[in-house]
A and B are shown apart, each in its own frame.
Chain A
Amino acid sequence: MKDKILASLKRLNIEEYILNISSFKSAQMFFIKKSLDTKRAENTVSYSVVVYRSFEKDGKKLKGSSSVHIYNGMTDEEIDAAINRTYLAASFVCNPTYELMECKKNDFITIESDLNNYSIEECCEKTAEALFAEDNRNDVFINSAEVFAYENNVNIITSTGIDSGYVRRYISGEFVAQCKEPQDVETYKDFKYYTLDTEALKSKVKKTLEYTLDRAKATEAPKAGKYRVIISDSYVSEIFSYYYSRAEASYIYTKYSTYEVGQNIQALNSEGETAEIKGDKISMKIVPAIPLSFEGVWQKEHDFMDEGVLKIFHGGVRFSRYLGIEPTGDYDSKGLNIKPGSVSVEDMKKKPYLWVVNFSDFQMDDFTGHFGGEIRLAFLFDGEKVTPVTGGSINGSILDSQTKMYFSKEIQRDANFEGPYAMCFEDVPVAGI
């Protein structure tokens, strides 16, 4: 199909294009309690073509683009017709002109991983084995689980000479832990690893089972008011995704964000003025989840913030060209490497706190800067005793909190995130009883 599509593009005299070929091979297992309910296997491939069209309108140089999927088994005539329709659509897309990504090097790489030592089905079975390894208690257990092992083979071909690709394997899934006494509760967790990190998965399951036991004992919601709030695990990366989103080239180009490189963005308050940072200063890198973007940009780690100061904007080709910066590609907002903070978790817990270890859903709104979620399990320390609590919700603002946040010395790793295990905010509003 690759050759047929490229021949069609040539036949139609389409000068600028990107062809993205992505195939997936996977094995999937779905468990209910201690039974394998369904197993699935997959062998799929997709072909996506973006065509570009340069033209002038009212004296302005413009470049339009549009995309189409091409499918296995299509005839030459069908491919020509589909691409031609898309090329026509591109002529109605009146965006300022820009250059596509130039070819700097061509390469096909297999991303190293111990997952490559096994068949995709074996990867799935070994992950399932690790998942259930800690499920050996009577009082708390795995209610249900889904386990996936994927091999993704990507090939990017562009009119600028790029013909590169990669093969990457990963395992992912989710599980629900349940505890029936003294009350029936559950905890949902997902996971994703680029290696066969069975120890990390076992540890995640063990911790989730323990939290679920704690949640079964929690009956009261915290009283409404302002708290010194600690969050941990995956919720930490959600907070930092705010800075990632606000520094994206499209946000800068549209003036949704007024961030400037060299500016201390952590010191900004809601009026856009600068305040003194009294807590830990943020230093972090952005880390790509994949080596090659769909536009053909080879992606790498970049220093992103240094002690609160923004080092770069990031983004794909079009908006980076508009801003006159080097395209970095397409990152995942959770692909971050954050320098640990100044205090240990134990030190964080020396003063009264509300430590939320499980939300029903925790969200960071990069538009408003509000963050929050409903509390499924938190530990409330009033200065004397620790009580598990459930219910109520956190409703904070990063613009109010960012100059007085503290990060733990202890770190966590998950997929392409590495950063503090926990972080602490002062005076966060909590809606409780």
Chain B
Amino acid sequence: MKVKESEYLKLKKPVLKKLLEKLLAKYEYASILANDSKSVNYRVNKAGTYIFEDNTLSERGFVVKVFDNGKAAEYSFSAIEENTVDEVFDEIVKRLESFGTKLPEGVDTYKYNDTDEDELFINESTEFESDPEEKGDNNIIELLTRISEKGRAFDDRIIDCSVAFNYQKYSKMFLSRKKDLTQNVMWSCGYIVAVAKEGEELQNGYRPVSMLGGIEVLDTLEEKLEDACNIALDLLKAEPMVPGEYDCICEPDVTGMIVHEAFGHGVEMDMFVKDRAQAKEFIGKQVASELITMHDGASTIPQVATFFFDDEGIPAHDTIIIDKGILKTGICDYQSAKHLGVNPTGNGRRQDTSRKAYTRMTNTIFEAGTSKVEDMIASIKDGFLLCQASSGMEDPKNWGIQLMVDIAREIKDGKLTGKIYSPIVMTGYVPDLLKSISMISDSIEAGGTGYCGKGYKEWVKVSDGGPYIKARIRLG
């Protein structure tokens, strides 16, 4: 089934068109993005049961973008009616004219030119099998409760088992002089977090599921429970890592974190505009092993960051960033593209309509290779299998790696020994790691239960992943 168009946005469209008309009479460029989004979180754990609408992902809001003699400005608002169009227009003009003229000494205002655009009409919806709203809150909570209770009974040391589901269903409308775009999208996620305790130490085992679609995402959640519990228990006996450089196999979620955090942020081209990304100097050069081909795009794979147009009205792309080890291009929002004289790639995304659009990743992956996972493990004499990515931080300027994973499983003479180490910090220089990749498994896994920030804010839904990779990595 296809996600239905928002009745609210359909109702507002003529009102927004009136506002757009007035804006276009005053400014050389004007666009309006409208969003009607609902996101509900369900969670069951020892602390209780929760059903609540997500404050960050639920909104009805609007953002106007204008270029006024080349100067970029935006106004975010949350209400407009047939009889308040003039009032909203006057407020936009008044507020935007009331500041930005008294600038610090030596600071001027950037002027964009050539804000013309091509004609475009889109009205598309993603598909799903089962709508969470129709499934019913009681059925969702019943399933989560059953898994949570089973997890808590798994072992005496498992003190809690949090099981969650959330979805977002949104309709977005983008209107400008030559564009009339509508999209209706739904993604869903679920996860299990088993918590084990010994003394003052707490450890957790995490297993996620995510997809572009509806409640059907939960079909495979329960089978991941045992894994989540065993990971938490294993971590209680983990030893600290002896720092050093090792041959490692990365599970797909760790590969995903390398793709996203270590490399993906470095090819966000708003960083090129600011001279904040080393990647700018490496276009056309080898940055990774020739086994590596990397993609990003809302149309790359069907996952949680799939859409038909971005928050600046640019159609979705599938951008090949690295082709057989050679850096081909970055990803770009509309304004950064204007700065750089390139075409935008459909990566201009906002946390919500009260926020600015930045260049953001969407679904970011490495392509699959040809190796079997068991052959990859067998090829390691003394190294680790890295599992359960926990967090990472980008460093586009210096391509320094700071990634955290929860588990390093020891491999000796091609076999897993059962010994595990935690926590693990992966460090080093990004191209060194990527060039050291010597084997890639023959299928990929991607997921997106988390959010990506720009620095420490501006959270958007992303997915990442790839195959198992074998690489030489510095661990601490």
Contacts known (A95-B49, A368-B203, A374-B393); A33 close to B60, Cβ less than 8 A: no
Which residue of the partner chain B has the closest CB to A38?
B72
Contact A48 B201 (CB under 8 A): no
Please tell me the number of chain B residues within 8 Å of chain A, measured between CB atoms.
83
Q: What residues on B are CB-neighbors of A33 within 8 Å?
A: 274
Stretch from A152-160, A347-355, A391-399, A409-417 contacting the other chain: A391-399
Q: In the complex, what distance in Å separates the CA atom of A374 from the CA atom of B103? A: 36
Contact B100 A36 (CB under 8 A): yes
B194 at the interface (CB under 8 A from A): no
Q: Mark A253-271, 1 if CB is under 8 A from B, else 0.
A: 1111010000000001111
A340 at the interface (CB under 8 A from B): no
Contact of A44 among B47, B201, B354 (CB under 8 A): B354
Q: What residues on B are CB-neighbors of A432 within 8 Å?
A: 243
Contact of B47 among A26, A184, A224, A253 (CB under 8 A): A253
B378 at the interface (CB under 8 A from A): no
In the complex, besides A367-B203, A399-B200, A399-B201, 9 extra interface pairs with C-beta distance below 8 angstroms are: A36-B100, A36-B103, A36-B109, A40-B75, A41-B99, A96-B48, A254-B160, A271-B200, A431-B474
Contact of B98 among A30, A119, A129, A365 (CB under 8 A): A119
Which residue of the partner chain B has the closest CB to A259?
B200
Q: What residues on A are CB-neighbors of B78 within 8 Å?
A: 43-46, 71-72
Contacts known (A48-B55, A143-B276, A270-B200); A391 close to B400, Cβ less than 8 A: yes
Contact B104 A128 (CB under 8 A): yes
Contact of A38 among B47, B104, B335 (CB under 8 A): B335
Contact of A93 among B53, B141, B195, B244 (CB under 8 A): B141
Chain A interface (Cβ within 8 Å of chain B)?
Answer: 24, 26-46, 48, 50, 64-69, 71-73, 88-90, 92-96, 119, 121-122, 124-125, 128-129, 131-133, 143-144, 174, 176, 178, 184-186, 188, 190, 224, 250, 253-256, 258, 268-272, 318-319, 360-361, 363, 365, 367-370, 372-374, 376, 391-393, 395, 399, 429-432
Q: In the complex, what distance in Å separates the CA atom of A102 from the CA atom of B392? A: 43
| Nearest CB on B from A211, distance (A) | 15
| Nearest CB on A from B257, distance (A) | 13
Which residue of the partner chain B has the closest CB to A24?
B354
Contact of B53 among A68, A73, A94, A272 (CB under 8 A): A68
Q: In the complex, what distance in Å separates the CA atom of A37 from the CA atom of B95? A: 17
Contact A73 B72 (CB under 8 A): no
Contacts known (A68-B53, A431-B425, A431-B476); A367 close to B202, Cβ less than 8 A: yes
23 A-B contacts (beta carbon < 8 Å): A36-B110, A39-B96, A39-B99, A41-B76, A42-B75, A66-B52, A69-B55, A92-B138, A93-B48, A125-B99, A185-B398, A188-B455, A224-B476, A253-B47, A256-B195, A256-B202, A270-B199, A270-B200, A270-B201, A367-B195, A374-B400, A399-B200, A431-B475
| Nearest CB on A from B392, distance (A) | 8
Q: What residues on A are CB-neighbors of B91 within 8 Å?
A: 43
Which residue of the partner chain B has the closest CB to A149?
B99
Which residue of the partner chain B has the closest CB to A174?
B455
Contact A374 B425 (CB under 8 A): yes
B450 at the interface (CB under 8 A from A): no
Which residue of the partner chain B has the closest CB to A215?
B398
B107 at the interface (CB under 8 A from A): yes
Q: What residues on B are CB-neighbors of A39 within 8 Å?
A: 71-74, 96, 99-100
Contact of A132 among B47, B104, B335 (CB under 8 A): B104
Contact A143 B104 (CB under 8 A): no
Q: In the complex, what distance in Å separates the CA atom of A26 from the CA atom of B402? A: 34
Contact B243 A224 (CB under 8 A): yes
Q: What residues on B are CB-neighbors of A34 within 8 Å?
A: 106-108
- Residues B77-94 near A (CB distance < 8 A): 77-79, 81, 91-92
Q: In the complex, what distance in Å separates the CA atom of A121 from the CA atom of B99? A: 6
Contact A144 B274 (CB under 8 A): yes
A-B contact count (CB 8 A): 246
Contact of A368 among B51, B201, B400 (CB under 8 A): B201
Q: What residues on A are CB-neighbors of B240 within 8 Å?
A: 395, 429
Q: In the complex, what distance in Å separates the CA atom of A119 from the CA atom of B95? A: 11
Contact of B395 among A42, A66, A360, A430 (CB under 8 A): A360
Contact A393 B476 (CB under 8 A): yes
Q: In the complex, what distance in Å separates the CA atom of A367 from the CA atom of B201? A: 7
B315 at the interface (CB under 8 A from A): no
Contact of B74 among A40, A94, A392 (CB under 8 A): A40
Q: In the complex, what distance in Å separates the CA atom of A40 from the CA atom of B96? A: 7
Q: What residues on A are CB-neighbors of B435 within 8 Å?
A: none
Q: In the complex, what distance in Å separates the CA atom of A37 from the CA atom of B335? A: 9
B61 at the interface (CB under 8 A from A): yes
Contact A190 B456 (CB under 8 A): yes
Contacts known (A89-B51, A268-B200); A73 close to B73, Cβ less than 8 A: no
Contact B197 A256 (CB under 8 A): yes
Contact A29 B393 (CB under 8 A): no
Q: In the complex, what distance in Å separates the CA atom of A61 from the CA atom of B452? A: 41
Q: What residues on B are CB-neighbors of A190 within 8 Å?
A: 455-456
Contact A256 B159 (CB under 8 A): yes
Q: In the complex, what distance in Å separates the CA atom of A92 from the CA atom of B8? A: 29
Q: In the complex, what distance in Å separates the CA atom of A259 from the CA atom of B76? A: 45
Q: What residues on B are CB-neighbors of A93 within 8 Å?
A: 48-51, 141
| Nearest CB on A from B449, distance (A) | 18
Q: In the complex, what distance in Å separates the CA atom of A88 from the CA atom of B397? A: 51
Q: What residues on A are CB-neighbors of B59 within 8 Å?
A: 46, 69
Q: What residues on B are CB-neighbors of A376 within 8 Å?
A: 400
Contact A391 B427 (CB under 8 A): yes
Residue among A34, A258, A399 with max Cβ neighbours from chain B (10 Å): A34
B105 at the interface (CB under 8 A from A): yes
Q: In the complex, what distance in Å separates the CA atom of A31 from the CA atom of B109? A: 9
Contact A41 B49 (CB under 8 A): no
| Nearest CB on B from A126, distance (A) | 9
Contact A92 B141 (CB under 8 A): yes
Q: In the complex, what distance in Å separates the CA atom of A44 from the CA atom of B276? A: 32
| Nearest CB on A from B228, distance (A) | 15
Q: Mark B265-291, 1 if CB is under 8 A from A, else 0.
A: 000000001111000000000000000
Residue among A50, A250, A431 with max Cβ neighbours from chain B (10 Å): A431
Contact A131 B335 (CB under 8 A): no
| Nearest CB on B from A377, distance (A) | 11
Contacts known (A72-B79, A119-B98, A129-B104); A67 close to B476, Cβ less than 8 A: no
| Nearest CB on A from B329, distance (A) | 21
Contact B202 A27 (CB under 8 A): no
Contacts known (A360-B402, A370-B423, A374-B402); A64 close to B107, Cβ less than 8 A: no
Q: In the complex, what distance in Å separates the CA atom of A50 from the CA atom of B99? A: 38
Q: What residues on A are CB-neighbors of B276 within 8 Å?
A: 143-144, 176, 178, 186
Contact B202 A368 (CB under 8 A): yes
B391 at the interface (CB under 8 A from A): yes
Top-4 shortest CB links A-B: A431-B476, A121-B99, A374-B402, A361-B393
Residue among A42, A176, A399 with max Cβ neighbours from chain B (10 Å): A42
Which residue of the partner chain B has the closest CB to A40?
B74
